[in-house]
Copies of this chain bind each other. A is one copy, B any other.
Amino acid sequence: MRQSRSGPKTDTSQGRAAASDRRSVGLREVARVAGVSTATVSRAMNNPEIVSADLRARIDAAVQQLGWVPDGAARALSTRRSQTIGAVFPALSIGEFARATHAIQSELARLGYTLLLACSEYDPAQELSQVRKFVERGVDGLILVGQAHHPDTERLLHQRKIPYVNTFVYDRSQPGTCVGPDNHRALQMMTDHLADLGHVRFAAIAQSTLNNDRAGARLEGMRHALALRGLAARPQHVLIGKWTIGEGRALFRKLMQTDPRPTAIICGNAHLTVGAVLEALAMGLRLPDDVSIVGYDDIEVMSHLPVPVTTVRVPGDRIGATAARLLVSRLENKPFSEPLEAEAEIVIRSSSGPPPKDS
């Protein structure tokens, strides 16, 4: 029928590399060695059960002998699937994200996917450009952090129909799209804990909420909980800075120089928390007698500091693993029924207690 089967295959050898010159093992060589067609080899690799046992054996032997490794690019081109997932995190060396990265990676590996990783440095424009690059690289899906993305990011993903999941946030109005804690509620709970102990003068040491909807939601959660009791943190008691231990120390010290002093201090991330606690100890303050400090993210050191720290536990690894599974089930059109909200848990330790009597 088709009039095509004309020349090319007969090797006129003028391409960039004549087929006959190619020494690199390909499906073709395997097929030849095994004495079968390329289609059969392909099937033997992808659906072993539909190939007769003896052929399968011959093929496996040939594969072994030639040390053939399938070519992902060719497969991706043909199937329009790369078995690759991209993840863009604001930072990689922050505990919660590092744990999540690890969990995502191992979960994806288990499911036959590979992880492409990038970092946005808390900048939506960078996030966009990383996402763009991932799209060009042909990722099947994406894992992002937070809900606030560059409009073009959402547009691009929508138009290319690339599924993605937002992590470290939970928004019940967007079911099935995000995996994480309800940041607002987490801090509301933490604030309630302190208020229930009798605190009235609250302070916050937080990282910038610029381009960080999670941090913003947490601050709002605190504000909301306080407002419900007719309270509010004084402006000079709400300090924003970088997310380092040193910054935590500096901001804590600054807080202690105000008058009146706050009696309860809520920190916005693990580094700031560790800094605040260590500075308090360095200043000779007793926790929680002189002041209560609570943190965010239950990294291991929280329970080992001289005064174990009350903190919000964020199951970064569970979030990552769940996000990975969710994304893959969506890609493979499988149902998914695990809970997506990582209920934030308040871990109460010794750094929080009733406010000092004389305050």
Residues of A participating in the B interface, judged by any CB pair closer than 8 Å: 2-4, 6-8, 12, 14, 67, 69-74, 76-77, 82-84, 91-93, 95, 98-99, 101-102, 105-106, 109, 114-119, 130, 132-138, 159-160, 244-246, 249, 271, 274-275, 278, 281-282, 300-301, 304-306
Is the beta-carbon distance between B73 and A102 smaller than 8 angstroms? no
Question: Can you name the residue of chain B whose Cβ is closest to the Cβ of A77?
Answer: B73
Residues of B within 8 A of A73 (CB): 73-74, 76-77, 82, 138
Q: A12–B137 Cα gap in the complex (Å)?
A: 31
Is the beta-carbon distance between B92 and A136 smaller than 8 angstroms? no
Asked if A245 meets B300 with Cβ closer than 8 Å, knowing A69-B160, A138-B73, A306-B282, the reply is yes
Residues of B within 8 A of A67 (CB): 159
Q: A57–B77 Cα gap in the complex (Å)?
A: 29
Could you name 28 residue pairs across A and B whose Cβ atoms are closer than 8 Å? A2-B8, A2-B12, A4-B7, A69-B132, A69-B136, A70-B136, A71-B136, A71-B138, A72-B136, A72-B137, A73-B74, A73-B77, A77-B77, A91-B102, A92-B98, A93-B101, A93-B102, A102-B119, A105-B118, A109-B130, A114-B116, A115-B116, A115-B117, A115-B118, A246-B300, A275-B304, A278-B306, A282-B306
Q: List the 4 closest A-B pairs by CB distance, nearest first.
A: A73-B76, A93-B98, A92-B102, A72-B137
Question: Can you name the residue of chain B whose Cβ is closest to the Cβ of A97?
Answer: B98
Question: Can you name the residue of chain B whose Cβ is closest to the Cβ of A317?
Answer: B93
Residues of B within 8 A of A115 (CB): 116-118
Give the oligomeric copy count. 2
Q: A159–B118 Cα gap in the complex (Å)?
A: 29
Residues of B within 8 A of A91 (CB): 102
Q: A116–B113 Cα gap in the complex (Å)?
A: 11
Asked if A137 meets B84 with Cβ closer than 8 Å, knowing A69-B132, A117-B105, the reply is yes
Question: Can you name the residue of chain B whose Cβ is closest to the Cβ of A102?
Answer: B92
Question: Can you name the residue of chain B whose Cβ is closest to the Cβ of A93?
Answer: B98
Is the beta-carbon distance between A74 and B71 smaller than 8 angstroms? no
Is the beta-carbon distance between B71 and A77 smaller than 8 angstroms? yes
Task: Other than A92-B105, A93-B98, A93-B102, give 12 A-B pairs with Cβ distance below 8 A.
Answer: A6-B6, A69-B135, A70-B136, A71-B138, A82-B137, A83-B137, A105-B117, A109-B130, A114-B116, A114-B133, A117-B117, A244-B300
Residues of B within 8 A of A159 (CB): 67
Q: A83–B136 Cα gap in the complex (Å)?
A: 11
Question: Chain B's nearest CB lies how many Å from the CB of A122?
Answer: 13
Question: Chain B's nearest CB lies how many Å from the CB of A253?
Answer: 13
Question: Chain B's nearest CB lies how many Å from the CB of A6?
Answer: 5
Q: A35–B137 Cα gap in the complex (Å)?
A: 27
Is the beta-carbon distance between A246 and B301 smaller than 8 angstroms? no
Question: Chain B's nearest CB lies how many Å from the CB of A9?
Answer: 9
